């Protein structure tokens, strides 16, 4: 076996149909009533066609239950394991499941965890929540957790259920040998760039980045989009721009959509397309990532870790291309007190917990290694990206915004003295695009902490000042109210994030009480000097703009009273 084969971050084989079925099932469950969610999915490499090009429905195979379990299948051995297995089979839509099969490998996620917890409460009478399913992701471990008489025999769970050990994290960050630029590769071109590649353009930050790249340059922008065909990819990009009020006439003339997948080797591109990108693209902005704090590292690895590896691999193809990587302040270890973090390569990963934080740490580390190999890199570490400072346009698919809505639904917020770094989306995109397009800041790291820190409790105060009735509760009282709401079937946006909230404290992923980290941003200020790009203060007016955006979009109800509007 070669060294490359030993590497943890070697390209993965194509996504299995098993996982695809699980993702389809979860997607359908998030949008359809339970009674009409399909129980069976059939994955085909190609649809049978008639001579006229239409689908030949008579040749479609009959749906059948697939065997999802591995070859080392171990059937349930106790009544409790069988009860749990019965629920797993029904909720996950599988025919056979073994006691060692992993919930996530079967396609489970935050939505199905909440559904499974509700079913297990009905079937067993035990108090089960989504976090326990995340922490005990096999039938064997979950059944033991549900059996008090067997609890003493249960081995201790991992130190952190969504993390991997530090030594493995260091291995994950090792670059594959073929990322090194070949001897005959062309040197990077000088700005202004004629051709730029952007990943993650259909997401929130990506839409703002695309707007800034178009407005601040004459470059043609290739965008990598997961879709079935180019027309669908283009539709997704345009829809994202329109969603946040960013679309302009003539945009499509500056954009080429490339159908691909961050989680697949070589972005799942054909050889011709890959080689064309390698020869044409002059600079890469790698923004694409899955940002779920609730998922473990192994679920985020294909997109966040291997996708970053693929961006660097493309950067070393034909011509060396500068890579601008959107990282996160979450790469810094969580610590109590007031640690000071400079704009330097990532520190030792001890204390970096949670799948999302670890996956960004790995990508950040890869950038520093690539710079040593001759690939110019810039790393941007923003805080929590929130609504635009100009209009309030904002994504609903973030943990912070789920916390806002969830607390409004409860009428209460947890008393949690931790700091937030709020970064407006348009400010972040403008800063990244400005720096990247100048082409003069190779191998530099930028912290983007926003204009100033704000505590969670003060932030909740700004939401309340906008007119929303939210009382502050001690954490355990708030957690009990949240659990009662979710267990009682009430709709709450935080239900899918229950794994992040323990009975006594929030998970370490969310920070520490009293922690006041300081993020130096001298590199950032120097690079933005004279640009006119300034970050707004996190005040009542700023927070009110994106709350109003949420209300107009139907994500939040309008505030019953408008309090002290700024």
Predicted structure pTM score: 0.79
What was the pLDDT predicted at 18? 54
Band of residue 439 on the pLDDT scale cut at 50, 70, 90 = very high
Quick one: average pLDDT of 476-482? 94
Q: pLDDT at residue 30 above 50?
A: no
Q: Give the residue extent of every domain in the chain.
A: 3-153, 166-383+428-438, 386-420+454-515+536-566
What was the pLDDT predicted at 83? 82
Quick one: average pLDDT of 191-212? 97
pLDDT in tens, 483-529: 888 877 788 999 888 888 888 889 888 888 889 999 999 999 999 99
Helical pair 475-487 and 399-410, crossing angle rounded to 10 deg: 80
Distance between CA atoms of residues 535 and 451, nearest Å? 6
Q: The tokens of 491 are what?
A: 């709709």
Distance between CA atoms of residues 358 and 29, nearest Å? 28
More confident residue, 240 or 5: 240
What was the pLDDT predicted at 66? 43
pLDDT in tens, 151-172: 433 444 445 778 899 889 999 9
pLDDT in tens, 100-115: 887 877 777 767 777 7
Quick one: average pLDDT of 183-204? 95
Quick one: average pLDDT of 301-330? 96
Quick one: average pLDDT of 10-32? 52
pLDDT > 70: percent of the chain: 85
Q: pLDDT at residue 196 above 80?
A: yes
What CATH number matches the domain at 3-153, 3.40.50.300, 2.60.40.10, 1.10.1200.10, 3.10.20.30? 1.10.1200.10
Quick one: average pLDDT of 240-269? 95
CB atoms within 10 A of CB 53: 6
Average pLDDT, the chain: 85
Distance between CA atoms of residues 490 and 529, nearest Å? 50
How many angstroms separate the Cα of 230 from the Cα of each of 45, 198, 236, 237, 521? 18, 16, 10, 11, 40
Q: pLDDT at residue 530 above 90?
A: yes
How many angstroms separate the Cα of 292 from the Cα of each of 113, 194, 278, 289, 341? 14, 34, 30, 9, 24
pLDDT in tens, 121-149: 777 777 777 767 777 788 888 887 777 54
Closest CA to 199 of 356, 320, 306, 331: 306
What was the pLDDT predicted at 34? 40
Position of tokens 């709709």?
491
What was the pLDDT predicted at 21? 62
What was the pLDDT predicted at 150? 41
Phi, psi of 393 (to 5 degrees): -55, 130
Band of residue 26 on the pLDDT scale cut at 50, 70, 90 = low
Distance between CA atoms of residues 501 and 359, nearest Å? 21
pLDDT > 90: percent of the chain: 60
What was the pLDDT predicted at 53? 61
Position of tokens 């409004």?
408
Band of residue 79 on the pLDDT scale cut at 50, 70, 90 = confident
In CATH, the architecture of 166-383+428-438 is 3-Layer(aba) Sandwich (3.40)
More confident residue, 529 or 26: 529
């Amino acid at each position: 076996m070669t060294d490359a084969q030993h590497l943890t971050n070697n390209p993965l084989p194509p996504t299995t149909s098993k996982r695809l079925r699980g993702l389809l099932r979860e997607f359908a469950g998030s949008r359809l009533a339970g009674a009409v969610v399909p129980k069976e999915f059939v994955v085909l490499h190609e649809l049978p066609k008639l001579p006229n090009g239409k689908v030949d429905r008579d040749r479609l195979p009959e749906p059948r239950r697939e065997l999802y379990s591995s070859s080392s299948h171990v059937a349930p051995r106790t009544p409790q394991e069988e009860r749990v297995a019965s629920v797993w089979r029904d909720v996950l839509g599988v025919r056979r499941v073994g006691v060692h099969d992993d919930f996530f490998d079967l396609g489970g996620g935050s939505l199905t965890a909440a559904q499974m917890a509700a079913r297990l409460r009905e079937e067993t009478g035990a108090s089960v929540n989504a976090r326990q399913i995340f922490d005990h992701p096999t039938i064997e471990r979950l059944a033991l957790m549900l059996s008090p008489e067997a609890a003493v025999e249960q081995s201790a769970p991992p130190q952190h259920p969504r993390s991997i050990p530090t030594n493995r994290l260091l291995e994950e960050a090792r670059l594959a040998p073929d990322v090194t630029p070949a001897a005959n590769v062309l040197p990077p071109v000088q700005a202004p760039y004629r051709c730029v590649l952007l990943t993650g353009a259909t997401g929130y930050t990506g839409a703002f980045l695309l707007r800034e790249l178009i407005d601040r340059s004459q470059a043609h922008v290739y965008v990598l989009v997961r879709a079935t065909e180019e027309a669908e990819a283009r539709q997704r990009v345009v829809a994202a721009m329109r969603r946040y009020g960013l679309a302009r006439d003539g945009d499509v003339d500056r954009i080429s959509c490339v159908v691909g997948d961050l989680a697949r080797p070589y972005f799942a591109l054909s050889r011709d397309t890959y080689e064309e990108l390698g020869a044409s693209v002059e600079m890469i902005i790698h923004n694409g990532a899955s940002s779920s704090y609730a998922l473990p590292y192994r679920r985020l690895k294909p997109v966040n870790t291997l996708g970053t590896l693929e961006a660097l691999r493309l950067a070393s193809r034909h011509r060396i291309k500068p890579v601008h990587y959107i990282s996160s302040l979450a790469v810094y270890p969580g610590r109590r007190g007031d640690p000071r973090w400079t704009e330097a390569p990532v520190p030792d990963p001890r204390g970096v917990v949670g799948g999302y934080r670890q996956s960004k740490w790995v990508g950040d580390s890869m950038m520093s290694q690539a710079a040593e190999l001759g690939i110019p890199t810039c790393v941007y570490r923003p805080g929590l990206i929130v609504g635009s400072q100009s209009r309030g346009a904002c994504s609903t698919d973030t943990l912070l915004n789920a916390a806002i809505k969830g607390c409004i639904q409860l009428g209460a917020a947890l008393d949690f003295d931790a700091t937030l770094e709020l970064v407006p989306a348009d400010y972040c995109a403008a800063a990244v695009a400005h720096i990247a397009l100048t082409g003069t800041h190779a191998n530099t790291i930028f912290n983007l902490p926003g204009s100033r820190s704000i505590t969670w409790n003060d932030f909740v105060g700004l939401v309340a000042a906008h007119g929303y009735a939210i009382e502050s509760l001690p954490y355990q009282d708030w957690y009990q109210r949240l659990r009662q709401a979710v267990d009682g079937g009430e709709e709450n946006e935080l239900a899918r994030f229950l794994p992040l909230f323990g009975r006594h404290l929030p998970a370490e992923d969310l920070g520490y009480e009293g922690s006041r980290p300081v993020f130096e941003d001298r590199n950032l200020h120097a690079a933005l000097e004279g640009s006119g790009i300034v970050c707004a203060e996190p005040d009542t007016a700023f927070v009110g703009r994106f709350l109003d955006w949420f209300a107009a979009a139907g994500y939040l109800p309008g505030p019953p009273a408008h309090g002290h509007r700024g």
